[in-house]
Amino acid sequence: MDHVAIMKKSWGLTEKTLSGEKKIESRWYMARYAPWDRIKAGETVYFKNSGEPVAIKAQVTKILQFSDLSPKKVKEILEKYGKDIGIGENQLDFLQKKYCLLIFLKNPVKIKPFEIDKKGFGMMSAWITVKNIKQIKNTPTRKLPSEESRVESR
């Protein structure tokens, strides 16, 4: 499976992922949303900032899932993994979340940027899982000749 993680640009996490400073992608939820139970080691995660094309990919090495979280458990997770998650003090809005996924990454690389088609996934989707990235990768559309350049045969 391939995955697209859509990131909040203002947090600068795609840059931290590419530099290796951020080694773990975390997802914090009130319910079990994708990629819960849908991601495993060996798969690829593509990263994009919201409103921008996909520009980075990395391999998944390990997944940890936590449920029934309390503020105390959230703090324990952040104490243990926070540095590798790459979040700052101003980004700690996780205390009330009930579920957490930690997606361990390796080999982040910059790729030729491409757009995706989120149709059918919801415009506000922050994570997309597909069998193959080609399913949602936008390809340049073939331009039809303008009316003036068409030659009609009679």
Q: What is the CATH number of the domain that holds 134?
A: 2.30.130.30
Instruction: With respect to residue 148, please indicate whether it lies within any of the assigned structural domains.
Output: no
Instruction: With respect to residue 143, please indicate whether it lies within any of the assigned structural domains.
Output: no
Instruction: With respect to residue 26, please indicate whether it lies within any of the assigned structural domains.
Output: yes
Tell me which of 40 and 145 has the higher pLDDT. 40
Contact 84, 23 (CB under 8 A): yes
The residue range of the domain holding 30 is 2-138
Q: Half-sphere exposure of 19 toward its Cβ, with a 13 Å CA cutoff?
A: 10
pLDDT in tens, 104-118: 999 999 999 999 998
How many domains in the chain? 1
Which residue from 36, 11, 34 is spatially nearest to 22, judged by alpha carbons? 11
Collapsed DSSP state (helix, strand, coil) of residue 87: coil
E strands present in 70-143: 99-114, 127-130
Instruction: With respect to residue 132, please indicate whether it lies within any of the assigned structural domains.
Output: yes
Residue 141 pLDDT > 80: no
The whole-number pLDDT of residue 75 equals 87
Instruction: With respect to residue 149, please indicate whether it lies within any of the assigned structural domains.
Output: no
Residue 15 Cα distances to 9, 78, 83, 95, angstroms: 10, 20, 15, 25
44-49 and 24-29: which strand pairing? Answer: unpaired
Instruction: With respect to residue 154, please indicate whether it lies within any of the assigned structural domains.
Output: no
pLDDT in tens, 73-89: 998 998 899 999 987 65
Instruction: With respect to residue 97, please indicate whether it lies within any of the assigned structural domains.
Output: yes
User: In this prediction, what percent of the chain has a pLDDT beyond 70?
Assistant: 86
Global pTM reads 0.85
Residue 148 pLDDT > 80: no
Instruction: With respect to residue 110, please indicate whether it lies within any of the assigned structural domains.
Output: yes
| Average pLDDT over all residues of the chain | 87
Contact 99, 69 (CB under 8 A): yes
pLDDT in tens, 15-55: 999 999 999 999 999 999 999 999 999 999 999 999 999 99
Q: In the structure, what pLDDT confidence band is assigned to residue 154 with cuts at 50, 70 and 90? A: very low
